[in-house]
Chains A and B, each alone.
Chain A
Amino acid sequence: MGDNLYKERYSKRGMTEVRPMTAKVGVVPSADGSAIFETGKTKAIAVVRGPRTLHPQHMQNARTGILRVNYGMMPFSVEDRIRPGPNRRSEEISKVAEWALSSVVDLSGFPNTVVDVFIQIPQADAGTRVAGINAAAMALAHAGLPMKEMVSAIGVGKIDKTLVVDLDKYEDSLFHDGEGSTDIPVVMTSRGKEIALLQLDGKISFSEFREVVEMAKKACGDILKVQTRALHEVSGDRLQVTGGDDE
């Protein structure tokens, strides 16, 4: 098996330590809701528009409004320029983010409408889908849409034999020694601590995976505080986020 090659993070962070996070809502004035979420060098902007009438009409649902998520990376967000427009990766991420956010948003009061969520990444250092979902959850709350609870997202990973949270680009894609790197984005609901998104690529034992879920739970608790604080800056006490430690 060999020795563990990743005993200390090159960034000197603790294994369960997230990168410095900042969040702010109301960053796009024309939107119904908006937020920016930053973790380390990764930045994500999310904008909510709607509920508005859904076109084409045949896509409308007479029982409920629908949520539609569009995730994309800006061409200058990474070192190699990304061609503008959708690609297979962005289409898939949009869909899994849509599923994760749909699990907590209740649009039954807005039949035949759509709520569009646009997630854009101006600067990427891994973890863009989770940063985007953190921003999007805040933007949905900022838009005043009915939400059963909040969601928070984190990337957990395994670098060689070590479990860590909030991987940056070096840990995610540049570390190939030993067992390499396993990336596991997780989205958790704030109150029920249920899993709303889960993806994994790499190699990990069943017992390690159980540990990953526990680490994600703790990190999502940290992130929820940052999201809640940013929302309270604009809402005062009018907004209640359930599931945090303050309850």
Chain B
Amino acid sequence: MMSNYIMPNLQIEKIESYLNKEGKRLDGRKAEEYREIVVEDGVSVNSASAVRVKFGKTEVLCGVHLALATPYPDSKDEGTFMTSAELHPMASQQFDIGRPGIEAVELARVIDRGIRESGFIDFKGLCIREGEKVWQVFVDIVAINDDGNLLDVAGLAAIIALGRARMPVYNEAEDKVDEGFSDEGIPLKKDVLSFSMTFHKVGNTIVADVNQEEELISKFRLTIAVGDNNGEPRITAMQKGKAGTISVDDMETILKLAESKWKEMFGKIKEHVFS
């Protein structure tokens, strides 16, 4: 449940007119410019991996956990996967305690689908005994501070946490998981890695990596996940949010931005994920 946050009209006008006139945002960034991305490891030693990712002041923690599970009847030789997100009230005055609201549900589902459908996790590699026992992979996202663009920050945190996760040790004799972790990573198909970029329309301008104020006043958002297809960018997921509509021109602007941003950022993202 999101409480209403009141944005003063003066501030809305200031943000929009500065973008229209100067082509810049109040924090000095250009429309397509990202904030500094910071990645840290070792948030919890008890987890297969747990990372902290920051875009400017927006901060997210993300952990990966593996547990034993029974496979689904229609995919007997494949592990299972689940993404959850907690938009905790510590992160923003807009969030409340309780059952995940629609913001958390949407965020978790968009990230879950993006990872699942890209084929990044090798689900067959998570099978222990066909039809009986597989690994279940949990990705848990907790927002620490929301200054906009949680979707991209959490999405990046999820793939980095997966990329750095260590396999637990399965004790076959006792049919349980032993303490500690192996040196092996979880089975991933590294060549299909993709990451998501969210663009918002603020005033008349398409901007990347919004801060909280820009996010609140934007007309629509469009998230595009882009992966690598032999050196060329390829779309792997999309999600439009908010009630505004996207014109043909805006769509073309976003597609071009997504292509150029992907070329600029993909190498660095890959380093973070597989370091």
Contacts and interface: CB of A to CB of B under 8 A. Distances in A.
Interface string B238-275: 11111111111001000100110000000000000000
Interface stretch (A5-13, A26-34, A187-195): A187-195
A194 B243 CA distance: 12
A96 B258 CA distance: 22
A96 B113 CA distance: 15
A202 interface: yes
Contact of B238 (A88, A99, A200): A200
Given A91-B105, A199-B239, A204 B234 contact: yes
Given A99-B243, A192-B247, A193-B248, A202 B105 contact: no
Contacts of A200: 235, 237-239
B235 to A, nearest CB: 5
A88 B109 contact: yes
**Size bin of chain B's contact surface:** 20 to 34
A177 interface: no
B259 A201 contact: no
Nearest to A188: B245
Contact of B102 (A95, A194, A210): A95
B58 interface: no
Interface in A70-103: 88-89, 91-92, 95-96, 98-100, 102-103
Contact of A203 (B227, B241, B255): B227
A196 B245 contact: yes
A95 B248 contact: no
Contact of B108 (A88, A102, A204): A88
B243 A103 contact: yes
Interface in B64-84: none
A201 B238 CA distance: 7
Interface centre among A99, A100, A201, A205 (most CB of B within 10 A): A201
Contacts of B91: none
Contacts of A192: 245, 247
B235 A91 contact: no
A209 interface: yes
Given A99-B242, A189-B245, A194-B245, A203 B236 contact: yes
**Size bin of chain A's contact surface:** 20 to 34
A62 to B, nearest CB: 12
A209 B255 contact: yes
Interface of B: 102, 105-106, 108-109, 113-114, 117-118, 222, 227, 229, 232-248, 251, 255, 258-259
24 contacts: A88-B105, A88-B109, A91-B105, A92-B102, A92-B106, A95-B106, A96-B239, A99-B243, A103-B244, A184-B238, A194-B245, A194-B247, A195-B240, A195-B245, A197-B240, A198-B239, A199-B239, A200-B238, A201-B113, A202-B236, A203-B235, A204-B235, A205-B235, A213-B251
Query: What are the 10 tightest A-B residue pairs by CB atom distance, in nearest-first order?
Result: A200-B238, A194-B245, A102-B243, A198-B240, A195-B246, A201-B117, A99-B243, A103-B243, A196-B245, A103-B245
Interface of A: 88-89, 91-92, 95-96, 98-100, 102-103, 184, 189, 192-206, 209-210, 213
